[in-house]
Structure formats: C-alpha cells, structure tokens
C-alpha cells in the first residue's frame, strides 16, 4: 500500500516510527494509503532543516523571493488538474469544488508576489534636528502551520505563501486524513526555486503538533481547526512564548428578511449549506427566517435539495461528495436521529447513496430548530441545514450576536438601509450582503471574532504579512563630530 512520506531538505523522506495512520477513500470506504506518524525527533529534524536554511533565505532579496512566488504560481496553475484530482481523491469533494479551492489558493500566491511593496516601511526625515527615523519589517525565523482536512491545498497556501515571501522558513503539519497535496505543493516550491530546507512537511498527528508547540526554534504558529483545539493550541503556544493565530469553529447564520428574493435566497442557502458536504468553516449552517418568509423559503430550499446530485467525485454529474470519515458521517447523521422538537423536513439518511459504500450522507433540512438544540449549538460540519424562525430583524441580530462563534454571517434583503444597519450591528468577523459565503479576497484578511479566533491577527492578506514579520524602528543621526557632547537629559525632538 502507498506510503505518503514526509518532506525534508527538498525531498520526500520515509517515516521511521512504524506508527501508521490510514488515509481512506471516502467514496468507497476503503483504505488507499497511509502515513507514518512523525516522532518528536523527526519533527525536530524538520525544524532544524528550516533553521539552517533561514539565514540565506532571509538574506535573499525581495525581488528573488517574489520571483520564486511568481514561478510557484505558474506551476500551481499548470498543475491545477493534478492537484485538484489529488484533493478530490483523499478528501472526497468533487473535482470542480477542488478546482475552486485551488483558484482561491492562487489568489494568495498572487498577493504574496507583491512583497516588495507589502514590506515597505515608513520614513520620517528630520524627526529631530539632524535625526531621521524609519521603520522596517523583518521575518521571525522558523514558523509552522497546522492545517485542517477540509482544504488541504488552499489553507496551507493561506499560510506559507506570505510566510516564505517575508523571509521566514516554514514547517507544515497537514491533516493526516488527506496529506498528499502538501507533498505535491512542496515539490512545486522546489521546482520554483525555493532553496532546500525552506519548506518542510511532517506527516502525523498530535505528537508532531505538541512538539511544534513547544519547540524553542519555532517562533510562530498558525492553526485552523475546531474551537476546542484552536484554544488549546493558542494557550500552549503562547505559554511557550510563541506568536499564535488559531482559527476555530463557526456557526454561520444567514438572515433572510421578508423582502428578500426567495428564489435567490434559497439558491444561496443550498449552495452555501451543502457545498463540499458542509465541511467548510464558512458554510451556512443556520438560516434565520424572519417573519412570513419562513414557510415559502423552507419549501424552496426543500425543493432544491431534491435536485442535488450526490455521488463520488469520479462521477462527472456529482455535485456533492461524501464526508471525510465513517466516524464523522455517523456523528453528523446522529443529529438527525434526535432532532428534539425540530422538524426534519429532508432526511439525508434516506438518500439512496447513504446506504451504499463510502461515507455519504444526503443533504438534510431541519425546520423550527430552537437555540438550545444541539442542532443549533454544535458545529455539525456536515450537510445539515437548520432553520430558526425569528419574528423581527432585532431578534435575528440577537441570534447572531449571542452565539459563541463569530466567524461569518450574511443577510439577504432588497433593503439597502437594513443591510447597512446589519453590517454595523453584527458581532462577527466577516459579513456578506446577499453573498452567502463572504470569504474575503486575498488582499483583505480572513478570520472571525469571539470563539472563532484566538489571537490578534487574522489570516492571509495584510494581517498575514503583519503576523509573519515584526517591526523595527531605527533612529539615525550623522552629526558633525565637532558638535558631539554629553547630554544626560531625555532625548528631545524639538
């Protein structure tokens, strides 16, 4: 059976621990490969490789670093079908969905190519008599990324593109559930001219993560995953003196006002709720139907669910694939088995594909969900869309703001005033107005509020550049030696 290896010093390296972790084919339920989980010593070797490569990479000119990113961008684009097929085979998402993931990843590479501009500092001439002051941004050193299974190509690119172009070296610990795309990206970076050691990949699980969290040579760590783990990573990393950004879970609300176009809102809810089988941190998981819009909206969503083609990614007609593992599929299905007082309008367990091989579950719709139900409180991370009915705009906003998560939210309305008030009122990091999945373009930054983010800086974009650098302020004077004298007073600027 195929072993998915580590990447160290510019080449694939077999694991030595003997502790194998299975990589499943979600469409068939069969094991297709395995990774050998990295030991602490193997993780240390990856960090040591990155540390040795750092001085030369830091010294590389901004033009040189940008050139590598330009070449990498062209290689990713040229190989997008191969990368998408690999993502699809291990994650289970459709090839079209995987290609969409790559398109958004390419945006991040393109943003990173602007490093010569993004890393410009500030300069103040004559801040005091004969004194100039300027600021510069410098890399941190070795940084690490821990990425989730749901976007095995895009999320790593959220991290390492900015980190590398800023002059850092990088250690990636991808999800053990779909680890192959990370190796392909590593090889493309090598082909683009990135020096060996600047980018390393350790396959594995908790043991590798825990070592990265305390390793003294890792200066910063980026994480995307569930909220409990994000909080634990943030606390452990900061306790070890590291800079940490840890993005957690979500419960994204889509508020539909009575004046909204029902057909457009239903299309958006189905697209955002069931794309990638709901395994997206920005998926709409709660539709808040305000007033009289509820009944026709539920009917419109239900009618559209019946037309979703669920199947393996090898089927060109498939629009939604399986979930990542059998255990996760069963956990998601469990929410439908005990809906409480809610009404299961469409039960995905009844879909024919759900009883066949693989980890499939049909799209599900649950109406009249209450805020104390696990359907509402839990991040289900599957193709289950809950409808909560609200009597007013104010009640809808309270639902969004009272929720522990603050990742993304959206409002559907024809009323510009209501939309503007909504973006002002909601306590949330990313807001869509008639846009159900408001993932920012690469030249803004991604991240939520409340329990959806642990740390001060969001991911990628301008805040990504800030995260992977630190500022230094230089005060300089080139005086005439004849004017030099001792002055014990506080430095003056006037």
Q: Is 64 exposed, middle or buried (0-12, 13-18, 19+ CB in 10 A)?
A: exposed
The continuous run of DSSP H or E covering 109 comes out as: helix 95-112
Written as six digits, the tokens of 108 are 């991040």
Q: What is the DSSP letter of 141?
A: S
Between the alpha carbon of residue 376 and those of residues 232, 255, 282, 426, the distances in Å are 23, 14, 15, 18
- Residue 51 and residue 139: Cα distance in Å, rounded? 13
Q: How far apart are CA 96 and CA 227, in angstroms?
A: 29
DSSP 276: G
Find, among 68, 79, 456, the residue nearest to 243 by Cα. Answer: 456
Q: How many CB atoms lie within 10 A of CB 421?
A: 14
Q: Rounded CA gap, 249 and 384, in Å?
A: 16
| The token pair that represents 103 in the structure block | 């398109």
473 pairs with which residues across the strands?
135
**Nearest to residue 361, comparing CAs of 385, 379, 378, 340?**
385
In the numeric block, the tokens 């990628």 are attached to 460
Task: Give the C-alpha separation, 437 to 419, whole Å.
Answer: 16
Which residue, among 216, 107, 202, has the nearest Cα to 162 in the 3D structure?
Answer: 107
Q: Is residue 36 within 8 Å of 203, Cβ to Cβ?
A: yes
Q: What is the DSSP string of 427-448?
A: --SEEEES-SS-PPPTTS-B--
Task: Give the span between the Cα atoms of 54 and 195, in whole angstroms.
Answer: 10
The C-alpha angle 250, 148, 234, rounded to 5 degrees, equals 70
Please count the other Cβ atoms lying within 10 Å of the Cβ belonging to residue 124.
Answer: 13
Q: Please, is 493 exposed, middle or buried when counting C-beta atoms within 10 Å of its C-beta (0-12, 13-18, 19+)?
A: exposed
Contact 239, 136 (CB under 8 A): no
Please list the active-site residues: 281
Angle formed by the axes of helices 95-112 and 62-78, to 10°?
A: 170
Query: What's the number of CA atoms in the CB half-sphere (13 Å) around residue 107?
Result: 18
């Amino acid at each position: 059976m195929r072993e998915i290896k580590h990447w160290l010093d510019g080449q694939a390296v077999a694991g030595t621990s003997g502790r194998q972790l299975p990589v499943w084919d979600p469409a068939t339920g069969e094991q297709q490969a395995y990774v050998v989980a990295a030991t602490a010593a193997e993780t240390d070797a990856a960090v040591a490789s990155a540390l040795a490569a750092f001085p030369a990479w830091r010294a590389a000119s901004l033009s040189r670093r940008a050139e590598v990113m330009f070449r990498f961008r062209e290689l990713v684009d040229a190989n997008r079908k191969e990368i998408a097929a690999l993502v699809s085979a291990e994650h289970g998402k459709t090839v079209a969905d995987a290609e969409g993931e790559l398109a958004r990843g390419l945006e991040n590479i393109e943003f990173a190519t602007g490093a010569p501009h993004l890393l410009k500092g500030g300069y103040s001439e004559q801040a005091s008599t004969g004194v100039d002051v300027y600021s510069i941004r410098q890399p941190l050193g070795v940084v690490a990324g821990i990425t989730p299974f749901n976007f095995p190509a895009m999320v790593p690119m959220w991290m390492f593109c900015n980190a590398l172009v800023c002059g850092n070296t990088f250690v990636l610990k991808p999800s053990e559930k779909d680890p192959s795309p990370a190796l392909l990206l590593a090889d493309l970076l090598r082909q683009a001219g990135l020096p060996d050691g600047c980018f390393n990949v350790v396959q594995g699980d908790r043991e590798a993560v825990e070592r990265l969290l305390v390793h003294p040579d890792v200066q910063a760590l980026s994480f995307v995953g569930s909220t409990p783990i994000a909080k634990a990573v943030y606390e452990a990393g900061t306790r070890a003196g590291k800079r940490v950004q840890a993005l957690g879970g979500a419960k994204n609300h889509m508020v539909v006002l009575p004046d909204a176009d029902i057909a457009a809102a239903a299309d958006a809810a189905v697209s955002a709720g069931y794309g990638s089988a709901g395994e997206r941190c920005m998926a709409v998981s709660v539709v808040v139907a305000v007033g009289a819009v509820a009944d026709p909206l539920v009917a419109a969503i239900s009618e559209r669910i019946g037309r979703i083609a669920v199947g393996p990614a090898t089927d060109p007609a498939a629009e939604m694939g399986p979930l990542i593992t059998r255990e996760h599929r069963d956990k998601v299905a469990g929410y439908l088995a005990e809906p409480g007082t809610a009404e299961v309008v469409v039960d995905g367990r009844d879909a024919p594909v759900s009883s066949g091989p693989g980890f499939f579950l049909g799209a599900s719709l649950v109406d009249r969900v209450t805020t104390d139900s696990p359907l509402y409180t839990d991040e289900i991370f599957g193709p289950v869309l809950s409808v909560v009915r609200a009597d007013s705009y104010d009640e809808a906003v309270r639902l969004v703001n009272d929720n522990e998560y603050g990742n993304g939210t959206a409002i559907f309305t024809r009323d510009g005033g209501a939309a503007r008030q909504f973006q002002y009122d909601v306590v949330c990091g990313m807001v869509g107005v008639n846009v159900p999945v408001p993932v920012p373009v690469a030249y803004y930054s991604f991240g939520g509020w409340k329990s959806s983010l642990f740390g001060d800086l969001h991911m990628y974009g301008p805040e990504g550049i800030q995260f992977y650098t630190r500022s230094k302020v230089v005060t300089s004077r080139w005086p005439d030696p004849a004017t030099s004298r001792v002055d014990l007073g506080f430095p003056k600027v006037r």
